[in-house]
Structure 1
Amino acid sequence: MGNSASRSDFEWVYTDQPHTQRRKEILAKYPAIKALMRPDPRLKWAVLALVLMQLLACWLVRRLAWRWLLFWAYAFGGCVNHSLTLAIHDISHNAAFGTGCAARNRWLAVFANLPVGVPYAASFKKYHVDHHRYLGGDGLDVDVPTRLEGWFFCTPARKLLWLVLQPFFYSLRPLCVHPKAVTRMEVLNTLVQLAADVAIFALWGLKPMVYLLASSLLGLGLHPISGHFVAEHYMFLKGHETYSYYGPLNWITFNVGYHVEHHDFPSIPGYSLPLVRKMAPEYYDHLPQHHSWVKVLWDFVFEDSLGPYARVKRVYRLAKDGL
């Protein structure tokens, strides 16, 4: 989808994000879509199943050879842990229990976080709201790479390394771009996670902990599912800053591929996003879309026009009293 010119800066625009206006138009034309803005009762059971699956895997890998442990961490654990991070994404929008039960959503996210090995659910929610409210916002949207990333990771080899190191960039970038005070929920998230890690180590030893951490690092790094990180907002076509993917990997990623629909209606759980497209097809079917997350990663590495700089950025003028 890209062109041949290499980039030396972000794509700066001076218009509002497109999702706000499209949401208004769709709701005016199809008010029945509001009925989809309700919790997904399946979400908590899916999370429970995935967490139990990883606990069983911890027991199974405790006597595996290291090479097989790492193989299964990539092939199986990486898929499960990546799926759990996307469950946490859905839960951050209160999709499990609704906005009236915010505490239940927060604690379910902490529970879903357990197999990931490191605490991040509470921090993710704190920053993800800005990604929706200030899409591409300079100094506000921490999903956008830093200038250092854009400048350095500009060759195929370096872009490949950048993809491998994605978990580290997503973890550290908020501290550089838009640091926020530590919240009580982040402290609790950390304490619960540490307690779970210690318990797993005490019960089954080192290998299960290595398996869980490797599942997260490998599954969120250079992995087919990680194509969604690049597919969602990197500018494969000029003038388009959000893209959807409607392929089969949505089945194990809580429909995160329906990303244009998600930004239009962040209060609709992933399970119901296909219905948004079905109810208002004229707003989505004509938009550019991705057909393979693996091809997205390939194109990102080898096309000169793509890289960390291939993002739309805009300046939001905020009130002096903050967000």
Structure 2
Amino acid sequence: MKVFFSEDHRLHFPQAELSGGQFVTPYERPSRAEYVYQRLKQQGLRDIADPGACDMGPVRAMMDPGFLAFLETAWDQWKAAGCAGEVIPAAIPARRMQMARPPRNIDGLAGYYCLAQETAITGGTWGAALSSMASAQAAQRHVAAGARAAFALCRPPGHHATADMYGGYCFLNNAAVVAQMFRDQGAGRVAVLDIDFHHGNGTQDIFYGRGDVFFASVHGAPEDAFPYFLGFADETGAGAGEGATANYPLPPGTGYDRWSAALDDAIARIRAWGAEALVVSLGVDAYKDDPISFFRLDSPDFADAGRRIETLGLPTVFCMEGGYAIEAVGINTVNVLEGFLGA
């Protein structure tokens, strides 16, 4: 399986994350990708390529232009305003507030486009987000050219980003753009399978009203887990997209038996739906020792999950998402890939 990975991910390294009422070293940090990279090489998955530049055409086709302009210029605007730290807005819109007119002030503008204030923007964030997207695009092109599967070692991750909001460590939705690229190149139906512990709210939001991209997510129940406000079982799509969304919210303490039953149901629905290509949002934070999650999967379980996903028999792009037990993130990620390859 070919892997696409950019060293430019290191450009994004916020020094602070708001967690539990205090600033801590971010859980989403460069060492996550480095542990995965080293494990790939240890296990013989050495066909690792730089993705080259991001193709902005597919990104602009899916993302709000004002949002993209904000991401590209936020750091410069923040510094020009005299702000000393990283871009973390003081306020975000809440119920009954005006949303029709984006603020001119950079603090207000950041809040306008922000969905979670744990996610800081730095001087290197835009470049890193583009490199992450480039890895996803290169993996898609490789699979579209005939490969069975490819892995995009994306960092920062993407599945929480909507077409016009960032947060949850995500800025550009890699998996959504990959799915749309498959559609643009002729795939009649595409599925996105999100196995990250946290619900892929951004991907769901982008495709919720569409009937050509099926979205399935196995995740922590939103009553108990970030992003809290999306990912309930009764969210099944709207309009043309009715029936093309499947959510599997699971409670604290969920082990592999219950988790894998949900995965099997999602796989069965993707198969019955008739998907022609598959995008996997590959988060491994369902691991038992993950610091910001509450499932109980063990490392061998991820290999079995990869075997189950392979049974779909579809051209598959894996996009890296979460996983914050740093010393295990490489083992668990590569286990999924090896399970898929060895099925």
Return the TM-score normalized by structure 1. Answer: 0.25
Return the TM-score normalized by structure 2. Answer: 0.24
User: RCO (CA 8 Å, sep 6+): is it higher in 1 or 2?
Assistant: 1
Going by fraction, where is helix more abundant, 1 or 2? 1
Greater Rg over alpha carbons, structure: 1
